[in-house]
């Protein structure tokens, strides 16, 4: 927790060092959990690559479509974290308020899941409508008919994970996620390729693996909060059927713009992946590899953003403006340092990174390898911008400032970045590289806009009331 600190005109090196340590202790389990969750997808992608380029492309289409809905749901339910943080900042032991906030977050997850399940059941028709090849759309649809059922348990896991992290015990979520990795791998290995006497289902086998792992993680986290001494006093599932409409609508007031903010970024990336599919199977496969590598790196600033939202929320709830500033500085410093490291690796060793996904010695993979290494150069360029915007959004979310950042993200990603990328891809010889240039442009604009918004933080509390 933050101690009340006096504002001063000089740089508070002692406070900054303490905040760096506090940020590191809170964020590293969250970062590792993000990486572990991404590893679940990476395992499926790597195994799918053994089925061939067409299976990899079909899996990418389904995963990108699913991810847009998934990230919106996560954006909605995880706003419970800054809400709870601000509540605990004001009153450390407000068990009843925390329980009500969590319960309405669970309601929100349930309300989201039913319409999403209905939409995703028609994934094949949606993909054909937007111009994907019928054979790829059909295979993606079969995969989605299994994958979609992971939606609700994944949101439940995200909700409980946010709760334990806000109470500064994020290691529980990491433990549950790490133990889910072998489950995911073994089920995928068995059902995709017919090992251990199981039927060889191909791509849908990866969907079953994700589903089983998601159910395990949701149940595991619920057991933790119901049984562990630190959490059980909150009785989170007590009277879960009882509504608290003010809390329910408060979650949606913050959750809708927070979820849409995340969706704007995902829409840009997802629609770009769909356009890669229009360009060709090789472009889509190469894009899938490059975006997976970028996504792994992105989990670090995402974890920092989650941690700083809690630290800022606790300080903001306690009325400690100096603590708010220190939390933002610490998280941004860590994000920039990490981005410089990942950018260097992507520029100097792209072939090594691609080799984890494809056999570089196989001539059949040469075209995909060449495209993927080229895309990684652009990924290296936007590492700084991506890190700044991810952490900056978390800083603002800790202040419960979500509407203006949502608008800024919509303009940067969907009004400028995405149209620019598509224009360059289909009207110049750049093709797939043009789409990545759009990424760089959109992310950079959003990063500058978020930093500008943070500079107005002393006025935000008045604006968001």
Mean pLDDT value across residues 321-343: 91
Identify the weakest region by mean pLDDT among 21-30, 77-86, 117-126, 271-280.
271-280
38 pLDDT tier (thresholds 50, 70, 90)? confident
- pTM for this predicted structure: 0.81
Mean pLDDT value across residues 246-261: 89
Residue 328 has pLDDT above 80, yes or no: yes
Helices of type H across 8-94: 13-49, 53-77, 80-90
Mean pLDDT value across residues 36-48: 79
Cα–Cα distance measured from residue 147 to residue 389, given in angstroms and rounded to the nearest whole number: 30
- Residue 47 CA, distance from chain mean position: 22
Residue 154 has pLDDT above 90, yes or no: yes
Percent of the chain's residues with pLDDT above 70: 95
Cα–Cα distance measured from residue 246 to residue 257, given in angstroms and rounded to the nearest whole number: 17
Distances from the Cα of 445 to the Cα of 151, 399, 414, angstroms: 31, 22, 12
Burial code of 95-120, b = ≥16 C-beta within 10 A, e = fewer? eebbbbbbbbbbbbbeebbeebeeeb
Cα–Cα distance measured from residue 179 to residue 224, given in angstroms and rounded to the nearest whole number: 14
Each residue's pLDDT tens digit, 159-192: 999 999 988 888 899 999 999 999 999 999 999 8
341 pLDDT tier (thresholds 50, 70, 90)? very high
Cα–Cα distance measured from residue 53 to residue 366, given in angstroms and rounded to the nearest whole number: 12
Which of 334, 336, 313 shows the shortest CA–CA distance to 457? 313
Q: Which two tokens stand for residue 49?
A: 């690559």
The answer to whether residues 414 and 264 touch, using CB atoms and an 8 Å cutoff, is yes
Task: Select, from the ranges 129-138, 148-157, 437-446, the one with the highest average predicted confidence (pLDDT).
Answer: 148-157
Residue 241 host element (H or E): none
Give the model's pLDDT for residue 382.
82
Give the model's pLDDT for residue 392.
93
The answer to whether residues 453 and 463 touch, using CB atoms and an 8 Å cutoff, is no
Give the model's pLDDT for residue 264.
86
Give the model's pLDDT for residue 461.
54
Give the model's pLDDT for residue 459.
66
Which of 206, 199, 188 shows the shortest CA–CA distance to 139? 206
Give the model's pLDDT for residue 10.
61
Which of 208, 229, 228, 230 shows the shortest CA–CA distance to 220? 228
Identify the weakest region by mean pLDDT among 56-65, 87-96, 431-440.
87-96
Q: What is the DSSP string of 294-348?
A: HHHHHHHHHHHHHHHHHHHHHHHHTT-HHHHHHHHHHHHHHHHHHHHHHHHHHHH
Cα atoms found within 13 Å of the Cα of residue 146, Cβ hemisphere only:
21
All structural domains of the chain with their residue ranges? 19-464
Give the model's pLDDT for residue 93.
67
Environment class of 21 (CB within 10 Å of its CB; exposed 0-12, middle 13-18, buried 19+): exposed
Give the model's pLDDT for residue 267.
78
Each residue's pLDDT tens digit, 104-136: 999 999 999 999 999 999 998 998 887 878 888
Give the model's pLDDT for residue 460.
59
Give the model's pLDDT for residue 7.
46
Residue 319 has pLDDT above 90, yes or no: no
393 pLDDT tier (thresholds 50, 70, 90)? very high
Give the model's pLDDT for residue 242.
82
Mean pLDDT value across residues 433-454: 90
Identify the weakest region by mean pLDDT among 357-361, 378-382, 432-436, 449-453.
357-361
Residues across the chain? 465
The answer to whether residues 22 and 291 touch, using CB atoms and an 8 Å cutoff, is no
Task: Select, from the ranges 8-12, 232-236, 269-273, the one with the highest average predicted confidence (pLDDT).
Answer: 232-236
């Amino acid at each position: 927790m933050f101690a009340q600190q006096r504002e001063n005109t000089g740089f508070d090196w002692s406070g900054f060092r303490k905040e760096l340590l506090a940020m590191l202790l809170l964020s590293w389990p969250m970062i590792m959990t993000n990486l572990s969750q991404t590893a679940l997808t990476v395992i499926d992608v790597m195994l799918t690559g053994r089925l061939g380029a067409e299976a990899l492309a079909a899996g990418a289409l389904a995963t990108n479509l699913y991810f847009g809905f998934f990230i919106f749901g996560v954006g909605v339910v995880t706003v419970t974290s800054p809400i709870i943080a601000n509540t605990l900042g004001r009153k450390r032991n407000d068990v009843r308020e925390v329980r009500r906030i969590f319960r309405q977050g669970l309601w929100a997850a349930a309300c989201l899941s039913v319409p999403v399940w209905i939409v995703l059941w028609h994934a094949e028709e949606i993909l054909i409508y937007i111009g994907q090849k019928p054979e790829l759309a059909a295979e993606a649809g079969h995969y989605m008919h299994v994958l979609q059922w992971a939606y609700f348990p994944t949101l439940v896991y995200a909700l409980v994970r946010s709760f334990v992290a806000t109470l500064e015990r994020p290691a529980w979520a990491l433990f549950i996620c790490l133990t889910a990795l072998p489950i995911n791998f073994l089920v995928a290995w068995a059902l995709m390729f017919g090992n251990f006497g199981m039927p060889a289902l191909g791509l849908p086998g990866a969907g079953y693996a994700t589903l089983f792992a998601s159910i395990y993680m949701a149940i595991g986290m619920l057991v933790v909060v119901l049984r562990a001494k630190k959490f059980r006093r909150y009785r989170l599932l007590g009277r879960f059927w009882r509504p608290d409409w003010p809390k329910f609508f408060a979650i949606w007031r913050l959750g809708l713009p927070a979820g849409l903010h995340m969706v704007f970024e995902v829409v840009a990336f997802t629609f770009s992946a769909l356009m890669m599919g229009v360009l060709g199977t090789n472009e889509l496969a190469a894009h899938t590899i490059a975006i997976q590598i970028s996504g792994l790196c992105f989990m670090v600033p995402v974890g920092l953003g989650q941690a700083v939202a809690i630290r800022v929320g606790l300080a903001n709830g306690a009325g400690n403006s100096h603590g708010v500033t220190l939390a933002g500085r610490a998280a941004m410093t860590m994000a920039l340092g990490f981005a410089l490291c990942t950018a260097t690796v992507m520029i100097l060793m792209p072939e090594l990174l691609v080799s984890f996904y494809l056999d570089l010695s196989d001539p059949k993979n040469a075209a995909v390898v060449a495209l993927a290494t080229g895309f990684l150069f652009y990924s290296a360029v936007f590492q700084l911008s991506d890190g700044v915007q991810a952490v900056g959004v978390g800083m603002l979310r800790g202040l419960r400032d979500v509407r203006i950042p949502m608008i800024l993200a919509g303009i940067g990603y969907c009004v400028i970045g995405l149209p620019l990328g598509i224009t360059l891809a289909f009207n110049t010889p750049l093709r797939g590289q043009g789409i990545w240039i759009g990424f760089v442009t959109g992310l950079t604009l959003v990063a500058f806009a978020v930093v500008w918004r943070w500079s107005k933080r002393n006025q935000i509390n008045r604006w968001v009331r």
